[in-house]
Amino acid sequence: MTDPNARDLLLRGGLVGGRRQDVAIRAGRIERIAPDLPPAGREVLDVGDRLVLPGFVETHIHPDKAFIADRTEGLRAGGPSPLALVAELKKSFTEDDVYRRARRVLELAVRHGCTTMRAHVEIDAFVELRGLAALARLQREFAGVLDLRLIAFAQEGVFNDGVTQGLLREALRGGVEALGGCPYMDRDQRAHIDWCFDTAQAFGVPLDFHADTAEDPAMLTSDYIAAQTVARGFQGRVTLGHLCTLDALEPEPRARVIAALAEARISVISLPATELHVKGRGDRRLTWRGIAPLAALRAAGVTVAVSTNNIVNPFTPYGHPDPLRQALVAAMAAHLGNLDQMAWLLELVTTSAARAIGLADYGLAEGCRADLVVLDARDPAQAITEQAEKLWVLKGGRVVAQNTRTSELRGP
């Protein structure tokens, strides 16, 4: 999908860091950011007074089980749990089926300004390596448009059958770059966590856990994961998705866990759309929201991100891979509405998200890759509030998506 004849670009008059500046791109990277730069042979793209950001980063998403909400009669009030529904559907996934649905997710994400995506790929007795084969194909096909990174993900646990451990190792041997654990799917959560650390150590890959989705404080694992991270020298190489249980702890133990996460340099990815759909179903009053305490984590120095997670499946039937939407959902659900918070919320899908998954050369600075999104807004607060159009999406300095929104007001 890359165009070898694409010319270098000069983005003219965009709002960069709150000021009107030009962004000069050469050979896929940002060469200079300053006012009134000469085109110097570059094609000029006029983005006058529009907000320029580094491209959005989806840090936690499941393209392999997207767009299946209409496949099950079970997705009705009082039906089986999303976990049971998806496990059953997964048995009939073919490589081509996963490929088609995941491709739609990737195309939508690019249209919505996403330039890097780290996706969980389920590997277990039900789907074996068929999902991985489909996502690996897409990873090759989208090179130059979207950096797709893959996590070998143990959604069904590692001790419930005789094949999952071997399949996960096979995926890592084949070059999948991270291991994804899911402690709450095994009866002994600590044994699951230990197995993941042992395996990640053996293959030299980072870890990403689906952790602490329960509202019962006794189910907490993030304290144990933080201790293991330090004990095994994994600081800065562990990310945790969900962390809902933090929201159910008393303030003092919560502060202790947050300090331990900061100490272990663990990054936290909150998944607000899914939590709001799934959590609090049994509450008679004071419905539990289940959103990780983003402001407190961030204030303690923890790298925090928000991501889309599920797309049109039983876990989030209205999920859509649009990081700008997740920023708004997080603002509503986690009480992040004051002016300071509105100013940093977009970091949760850009710079902070990039840090969470260890992206190099990312950002709005000279020398960084020219992965950019230009929004029809003047500042982050307006972009979030109006869910601004993503006018241009650039990957490596090349326009990979262009969107327009037209509306006509007829009188008065």
Per CB under 5 A, contacts with Zn ion among 4-43 are none
The 167-186 site mask, x for binding Zn ion (CB under 5 A), equals --------------------
Residues whose CB is less than 8 angstroms from the CB of residue 96 and which lie 6 or more positions away in sequence, other chains included: 134
Geometric angle at alpha carbon 195, from 193 and 200, rounded to 5° = 95
Tokens coding 53: 């950001």
- Pick the closer one to Zn ion by CB: 45 or 348: 348
SS3 letters for 105-120?
A: HHHHHHHCCEEEEEEE
* Torsion, Cα of 60, 302, 246, 268 (10° steps): 10
Place of tokens 């402001």: 295
- Pick the closer one to Zn ion by CB: 22 or 156: 156
SS3 41: coil
- Pick the closer one to Zn ion by CB: 221 or 309: 309
Judged by CB under 5 A, does residue 309 bind Zn ion?
yes
- Pick the closer one to Zn ion by CB: 184 or 392: 184
- CB of 21 vs Zn ion, minimal distance in Å: 37
- Pick the closer one to Zn ion by CB: 99 or 153: 153
- CB of 306 vs Zn ion, minimal distance in Å: 12
How far apart CA 31 and CA 23 sit, in angstroms, is: 8
Which range binds Zn ion by CB under 5 A, 154-162, 213-221, 258-266, 307-315?
307-315
- Pick the closer one to Zn ion by CB: 59 or 309: 309
- CB of 39 vs Zn ion, minimal distance in Å: 44
For 152, other C-beta atoms within 10 Å of its C-beta total: 27
Name the strand (E) or helix (H) holding 102: helix 95-111
Q: In this structure, are residues 223 and 260 in contact, taking their beta carbons and an 8 Å threshold?
A: yes
Residue by residue, DSSP assigns 336-361 as --SHHHHHHGGGGGTHHHHHHTT-SS
The 262-301 site mask, x for binding Zn ion (CB under 5 A), equals ----------------------------------------
Which range binds Zn ion by CB under 5 A, 75-83, 189-197, 256-264, 308-316?
308-316
- CB of 83 vs Zn ion, minimal distance in Å: 11
- Pick the closer one to Zn ion by CB: 124 or 371: 124
Name which of 20, 38, 98 is nearest 63 in CA terms. Answer: 98
Which range binds Zn ion by CB under 5 A, 12-20, 141-149, 213-221, 305-313?
305-313
- How far is the CA of 203 from the CAs of 35, 232, 239, 241, 377, in angstroms? 47, 14, 17, 22, 44
Judged by CB under 5 A, the number of residues near Zn ion is 1
- CB of 241 vs Zn ion, minimal distance in Å: 5
- CB of 120 vs Zn ion, minimal distance in Å: 6
What is the amino acid identity at position 350? T
Task: Classify strands 390-395 and 29-34 as parallel, antiparallel or unpaired.
Answer: unpaired
- Pick the closer one to Zn ion by CB: 229 or 309: 309
Instruction: List contacts with Zn ion (CB under 5 A).
Output: 309
